Each structure stands twice: as C-alpha cells, then as structure tokens.
Amino acid sequence: MKKKSKKFLEAEAKIVSQKAYTIDEAIKTAKAVAFAKFDETVDLAFRLGVDPRHADQMIRGAISLPAGTGKTVRVCVITSGENIKAAEEAGADFFGGDDIVAKIAGGWLEFDRVIASPDMMGKLGRIGRVLGPRGLMPNPKLGTVTTDIAKAVEEQKAGKVEYRTEKNGIIHVPIGKRSFDEDKLRQNFNAMVTAIIKAKPASAKGTYLRSLTLSTTMGPGIKVDTLEAITLAN
C-alpha cells in the first residue's frame, strides 16, 4: 500500500470522513485542500448499482461540459476530400487520410482524441489494436465517427468528456481544474451528474447512485450527498 504523504494527511485531516457534503461544500473544500504546485484536475467518481459485465448495464457516452475541462486536447482527424479542409478550419491539430493511418500504424500517438468520417472506418481496422486499448478508437456512440467533422472537432476542443463504466460499476471523470471558480465547477458537476443519472439502464436494480466522491488529482476524496445529486436530474 502506498504511503500517504505529509501534505495528503494534512489535507485529509481537514475533511470530515463520514460526512456527506453538499455539492457546494464539496467543491469549496476540494479547492481549499488541494496542495499540489500544478493546476490539479477536479474529478468525480461514481459508484453505481450496475454490473458492467452485462452489455445492457454498460454505461458509456460523452458530454460537452458547459465550462469546458481546462485541458488542451490534441485532436486527430482521419477523413478524406473536403472534410480534410473542414477539419483544418475547425482547429484540428492533425488531419489527413491514408497518411495519418500509416503514421499511427508506425507507432505515432501524439494526440488525445481521434475523429473519423464513416468512409474511413474500413481503413481503421489495421490500427484498431493500437487505438482500442488506449480508448482512442472512434465510436459513433461517442460522436467521434461522424459526417459533421467540423462540429466534432469543435466539441472536443471545447471540452467534450467521455465516460465509461469500469470494474465494479465505477465511473471516473474530470469536471475541470482547481483554478476554475466554484460556479464553473458547479455547472460542470451538474451537467455530468445529470447525464449519468439519466443513463440509468432499465435492467439496473436497487440503488443506482450508491456513492459520489469529489477529489483533485493529488487530494483526498470528499463524499457528496447523493440525494442532493439525484435531484439534479429531476
């Protein structure tokens, strides 16, 4: 077990361990106890009453956060024809067709998101083993396989966040940076929680939102009142 640092223990001591904080209290506290010298990411961790081993209980999607993520996202577009120009004008960092596929097949991975037009999906088979394990394979459900290349690029640049259920029904997702003011973090918190709650599978039984924890990259977790969070989607 990794030993907790002195600064972590000092931050942890400022949090009431068994308390379910209100949303505003949790955001304020997370910002206050963050101690790293860099601009820490603020994360949400959901523990859901689902079994991701069953396809009908796997929760996966993407959402454009209203206040963005505060992160610079490098977008790579694989497309053809006029869409290459559209990708460039929309602000994509890299764009092309067969040339981009060949670069990735050769080991190039200097990007954070991949967007592809439907006509290029057949050619992505050769790099699926490279992109897939890294969560970079374009997917229509996530809006990264589309005919509207410009819109997809703009969404990713603006702060579109992907989420997916991990083992034991856990979803980890960023909602901004410590440097964000509390209002922006609250906007992103509301949007993310609403999306996850509305994504509840019909086959899920019992309590759906079992716990919700807010934290920064280096900081301790802060329990959030799940009942207050649930009201956001109503």
> Taking a C-beta distance cutoff of 8 angstroms, is the pair 161, 69 a contact?
yes
Burial 176-198 (b: 16+ CB within 10 A, else e): bbbebeeebbbbbbbbbbbbbbe
Q: What band does 17 get if pLDDT is binned at 50, 70 and 90?
A: confident
Of how many residues is the chain composed? 234
Question: Would you state the pLDDT for residue 148?
Answer: 96
Given a cut of 70, whether residue 1 has pLDDT beyond it is no
- The model's pLDDT over 54-96, given as tens digits with 9 standing for 90+, comes to 999 999 999 999 999 998 899 999 999 999 999 999 999 999 9
Q: What is the DSSP string of 67-90?
A: T--S----EEEE--THHHHHHHHH
AA identity, residue 85 = K
What is d(CA 28, CA 182) in angstroms, rounded to the nearest whole number? 7
Average pLDDT over residues 209-229: 96
Question: Would you state the pLDDT for residue 2?
Answer: 64
- The model's pLDDT over 35-60, given as tens digits with 9 standing for 90+, comes to 999 999 999 999 999 998 899 999 99
Which residue reads 């301790």 in tokens?
Answer: 220
pTM of the model: 0.84
Given a cut of 70, whether residue 227 has pLDDT beyond it is yes
Q: What band does 106 get if pLDDT is binned at 50, 70 and 90?
A: very high
Beta bridge partners of 171: 46
What is d(CA 198, CA 63) in angstroms, rounded to the nearest whole number? 12
Given a cut of 90, whether residue 131 has pLDDT beyond it is yes
Domains of the chain with CATH codes: 16-69+160-231 (3.30.190.20), 75-158 (3.40.50.790)
